[in-house]
């Protein structure tokens, strides 16, 4: 840039030559024209060149080439007056052309000439910088002239000139000087583009050229408000709320977050992170500004870090009851599409993304080098661990690493050759398992063969990895019915989704499935060649008029609950089956009265024409009866124990001469939707029988209320008690030795094969702030559940000394931690709510954060079944962070103590 120096002979690079040591004319020519200092030498980016008026320079050339020092061609002092607009502001004229109006000389040549001939009194040197444009060096003769304004006063611009290689930081510093901004005030820049909109100048380390700033552009300097907000980020609709908070002055950090719609998971994670003292101080003291990494391909261009910094500054300003994290939510959704929209998510997943995003946005390593991972190869553990940590820091160095990262020791042992592999891996948090019960509670409905007994609802305790036979054995203890006389089925949408075999696993049954267990005769089977009783699946259907052109077609709709009925093989006829079914339905199907028997013979014959021949009924086996996954049905619930009638059958009814048929029978497919007689099927397949009702007959003889009735067995009130576990037990489980699963084998470098090795994780290096994630959500192929076990965790003095392998006996406090925050989850898998307990770093008081609501709480309320993510701070870090009080100052509150306060919220 064309610089105006206070001393005309001042130099930017070389010391000023002495005037008295003027060489001869020939020597002057060689030094200026032919040497390294000559105007023809290559340009180098960043160096200074000077403008000399063309006429004076040509006169000097004539003088030195004439060879006479007393010649009348002596040029005199360097005079650049013709290059300036005026002699007050010393601004260059517009449109000057090199070779016609001026020549360019490197710094050394300029200082030689000034030393020999001097510079006209009062004139400043015209210094310009060399810039690189698209790989080509060029002298930046005309600087970029920017118009600087304040956000609060857009109508009063101040002009300032900058070289294209000047940094944006220089532009910001110049604006702060012009507008007399206090040093502690945080500011940022915006530039008005050609479309009339404003863009942030985020990276202050780039040059004016890189930022593509042009002369005449408007640059706006914005100052952060005292409440932590930026004036440009305040929507017009929020002005009223801002005015309400304008006079509010509360405890810094005691600030809620508005729920934007299922964003309680985000609010909980943010409140926990906001109450990590050293991280919050890092942002409040603006140390993050010097470490923003805008060029990291793994980062978010500094946007996540800036958005989080804005939240922290607002929350800790003490000027807000609650704030709206809309900008932060938008940024998160932009960089992590899984968090787009307003679906419920996991607070730990959001926390994991946020820690990684902050780390990459604040990574001090601008260019990551390739680091090869090395195995221990028999070396001492401390040597390998130190190497692994140094390699990690060569690529990852940020406040997140300083605060949250620790080191694992991972030991793998090959089961074949015994080869031992030891590696050390960094971690950001511990995901510890909870001790899981090997028992499972299942609700089933027992359907007795005695038609007088209503279905019974039972709650059974069975092994989690048990079989269907275990379920029958558990039910037999309640009912007195032998397990051999039970068949288990999954009922879905009035039909059998699946009829289970005794050897099948219980893991295929979900908690939401409707499981019915039917009593069958002791000699029942589903094998066609067996001489035992045949078990027939029975569906109930109702004829419903379907809209057709001639109204002649009748549809059939399933209703009620299906049955599994044992039929003696020697009574496998349609007439016998009709009476057997009529008996099984007798609790909720009434017999026709004598007045209804008049047309019985005629009606019966008519209906007999619609009943298929008995030969179409064939016994078989049934496997999975439906393609889709079972879901909740409108099924019956179950019942109390009642006496078992071991002699069911129509023979118990008084004989009737001609009974009116209440329904017809039809063989159907497994879904109960199609008649099997309409197409060719394997005759060995399990037969399904449908009881078809006419609407009028169903209304008259079928009691729906009684059919839906059930009773609860005493065991339904049973609750599987879960004993509380200690956090120490969870950590022990985490560090236990385990065998790798088949899906995740390890390649042994010794025997060159994939092996199911034994793996053991140990803690080697612990971070300043330790995050412990309790794995309450359990997912498997067939089941999903939330473990609501109470985990007992200490608020103070959590000691890790027995778990850390790299012992430091001189500093035992590096293994002791105090609790500072807890993320809670209430509810189940499909729905739930997240809240936070956090200890304020300034007051030491615990508070309960429930979205926009914040209330103080007692310490004895923090431990609960809802605890999900725990934040612990190392005790030596907490002591370092506490300021040393003067003797006249009152004693500081404890790190996470409980100051006197009569207003506490009961969150339980």
Closest CA to 822 of 787, 879, 861: 861
At residue 322, what are phi and psi to the nearest 5 degrees?
Answer: -155, 160
Strands 664-668 and 688-693: antiparallel
* C-alpha span between 577 and 556 (Å, rounded): 21
C-beta of residue 487 within 8 angstroms of C-beta of residue 517: yes
Query: In this structure, what DSSP letter does residue 34 have?
Result: I
Burial of 365 by CB count in 10 Å (0-12 exposed, 13-18 middle, 19+ buried)? middle
For 31, list phi and psi in degrees, rounded to 5. Answer: -70, -35
Q: Which helix (H) or strand (E) holds 870?
A: strand 867-874
3-state per-residue secondary structure call for 74-137: CCCCECCHHHECCCCCCCECCCCCECCCEEEEEHHHHHHHHHHHCECCCCCCCEEEEEEECCEE
Give, rounded to a whole angstrom, the gap between the first and last alpha carbons of the chain.
68
**CA distance linking residue 210 with residue 189, whole number of Å:** 15
Q: Confirm whether 833 is a catalytic residue.
A: yes
Using CA atoms, how far apart are residues 576 and 614, in angstroms rounded to an integer? Answer: 10
Q: Are 645 and 452 in contact (CB under 8 A)?
A: yes
Select from 325, 18, 271 the least CA-distant residue to 850: 271
> Residue 510 and residue 452: Cα distance in Å, rounded?
30
**Residue 12: is it exposed, middle or buried by C-beta count within 10 angstroms (0-12/13-18/19+)?**
middle
Nearest to 431 by CA among 112, 671, 692, 735: 735
CA dihedral 885, 890, 896, 898 (to 10 degrees): 170
Q: Which of 128, 255, 264, 472 is catalytic?
A: 264
- Of 192, 200, 108, residue with least CA distance to 146: 192
**151 carries an active-site annotation:** no
CA 215, 219, 221 angle in degrees (round to 5)? Answer: 155
- Collapsing DSSP to helix, strand or coil, 486 comes out as strand
Beta bridge partners of 870: 772, 822
Hey, is 722 helix, strand or coil? coil
Distance in angstroms (rounded) separating the CA atoms of residues 492 and 494: 6
Catalytic residues: 264, 833
């Amino acid at each position: 840039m064309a610089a105006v120096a206070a001393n005309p002979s001042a130099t930017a690079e070389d010391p000023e030559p002495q005037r008295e040591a003027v060489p001869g004319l020939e020597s002057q020519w060689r030094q200026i024209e032919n040497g390294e200092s000559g105007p023809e030498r290559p340009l180098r980016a960043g160096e200074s060149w000077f403008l000399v008026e063309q006429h004076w320079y040509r006169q000097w050339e004539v003088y030195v080439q004439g060879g006479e020092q007393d010649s009348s061609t002596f040029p005199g002092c360097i005079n650049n007056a013709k290059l300036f607009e005026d002699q007050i502001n010393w601004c260059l004229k517009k449109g000057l052309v090199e070779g016609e109006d001026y020549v360019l000389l490197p710094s050394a040549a300029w200082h030689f000439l000034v030393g020999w001939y001097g510079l006209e009194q009062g004139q400043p040197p015209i210094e310009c910088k060399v810039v690189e444009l698209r790989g080509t060096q060029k002298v930046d003769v005309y600087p970029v002239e920017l118009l600087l304004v304040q956000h609060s006063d857009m109508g009063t611009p101040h002009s300032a000139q900058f070289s294209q290689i000047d940094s944006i930081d220089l532009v910001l510093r110049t604006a702060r000087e012009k507008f007399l901004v206090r040093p502690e005030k945080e500011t940022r820049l915006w530039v008005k583009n050609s479309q009339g909109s404003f863009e942030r100048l985020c990276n202050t380390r780039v040059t004016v050229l890189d930022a593509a700033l042009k002369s005449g552009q408007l640059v706006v300097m914005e100052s952060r408000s005292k409440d932590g907000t930026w004036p440009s980020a305040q929507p017009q609709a929020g002005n009223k709320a801002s005015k309400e908070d304008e006079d509010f002055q509360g405890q810094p950090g005691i600030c809620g977050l508005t729920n934007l719609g299922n964003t309680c998971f985000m609010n909980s994670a943010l409140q926990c992170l906001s109450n990590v003292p050293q991280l919050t101080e890092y942002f409040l003291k603006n140390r993050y500004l010097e470490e923003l990494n805008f060029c990291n391909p793994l980062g978010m261009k500094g946007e996540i870090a800036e958005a989080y910094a804005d939240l922290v500054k607002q929350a800790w300003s003490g000027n807000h009851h609650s704030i709206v994290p809309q900008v932060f939510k938008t940024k998160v959704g932009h960089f992590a599409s899984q968090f787009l929209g307003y679906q419920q998510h996991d607070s730990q997943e959001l926390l994991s993304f946020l820690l990684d995003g902050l780390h990459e946005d604040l990574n001090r390593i601008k260019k990551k080098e390739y680091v090869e991972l090395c195995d221990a190869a028999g070396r001492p553990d401390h040597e390998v661990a130190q190497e692994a940590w140094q390699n990690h820091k060569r690529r990852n160095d940020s406040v997140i690493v300083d605060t949250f990262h620790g080191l694992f020791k991972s030991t793998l042992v090959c089961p074949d050759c015994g080869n031992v592999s030891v590696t050390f891996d960094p971690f950001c948090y511990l995901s510890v398992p909870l001790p899981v019960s090997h028992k499972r509670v299942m609700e089933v409905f027992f359907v007795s063969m005695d038609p007088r007994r209503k279905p019974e609802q039972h709650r059974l305790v069975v092994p989690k990895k048990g079989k269907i036979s275990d379920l029958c054995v558990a039910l037999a203890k309640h009912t007195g019915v032998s397990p051999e006389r039970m068949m288990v089925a999954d009922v879905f949408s009035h039909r059998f989704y699946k009829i289970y075999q005794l050897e099948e696993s219980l893991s295929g049954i979900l908690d939401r499935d409707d499981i019915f267990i039917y009593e069958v005769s002791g000699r029942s089977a589903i094998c066609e060649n067996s001489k035992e009783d045949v078990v027939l699946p029975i569906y109930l259907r109702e004829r419903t008029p379907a809209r057709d052109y001639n109204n002649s077609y009748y549809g059939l709709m399933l209703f009620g609950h299906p049955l599994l009925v044992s039929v003696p093989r020697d009574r496998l006829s349609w007439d016998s089956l009709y009476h057997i079914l009529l008996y099984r339905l007798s609790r909720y199907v009434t017999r026709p009265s004598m007045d209804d028997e008049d047309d019985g013979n005629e009606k019966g014959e008519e209906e007999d024409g619609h009943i298929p021949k008995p030969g179409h009924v064939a016994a078989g086996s049934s496997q999975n009866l439906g393609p889709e996954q079972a879901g909740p049905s409108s099924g019956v619930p179950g019942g109390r124990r009642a006496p078992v009638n071991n002699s069911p059958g129509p023979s118990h009814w008084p004989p009737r001469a001609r009974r009116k048929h209440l329904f017809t029978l039809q063989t159907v497919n497994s879904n109960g939707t199609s008649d099997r007689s309409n197409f060719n099927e394997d005759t060995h397949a399990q037969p399904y029988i449908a009881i078809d009702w006419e609407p009028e007959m169903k209304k008259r003889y079928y009691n729906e209320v009684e059919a839906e009735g059930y009773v609860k067995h005493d065991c339904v009130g049973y609750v599987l008690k879960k004993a509380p576990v200690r956090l120490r037990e969870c950590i022990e489980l985490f560090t236990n030795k385990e065998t790798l699963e088949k899906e995740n084998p390890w390649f042994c470098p010794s025997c060159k094969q994939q092996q199911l090795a034994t793996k053991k994780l140990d803690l080697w290096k612990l971070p300043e702030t330790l995050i412990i994630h309790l794995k309450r959500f359990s997912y498997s192929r067939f089941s999903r559940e939330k473990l609501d076990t109470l985990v007992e965790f200490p608020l103070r003095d959590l000691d890790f000394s027995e778990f850390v392998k790299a012992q430091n006996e001189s500093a035992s406090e590096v293994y002791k931690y105090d609790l500072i925050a807890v993320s809670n989850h209430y509810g189940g898998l499909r729905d739930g709510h997240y809240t936070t307990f956090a200890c304020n770093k300034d007051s030491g008081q615990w508070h309960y954060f429930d979205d926009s609501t914040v209330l103080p709480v007692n310490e004895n309320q923090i431990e609960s079944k809802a605890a999900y993510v725990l934040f612990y701070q190392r005790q030596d870090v907490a002591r370092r962070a506490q300021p040393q009080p003067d003797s006249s100052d009152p004693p500081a509150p404890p790190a996470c103590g409980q100051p006197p306060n009569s207003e506490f919220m009961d969150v339980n």
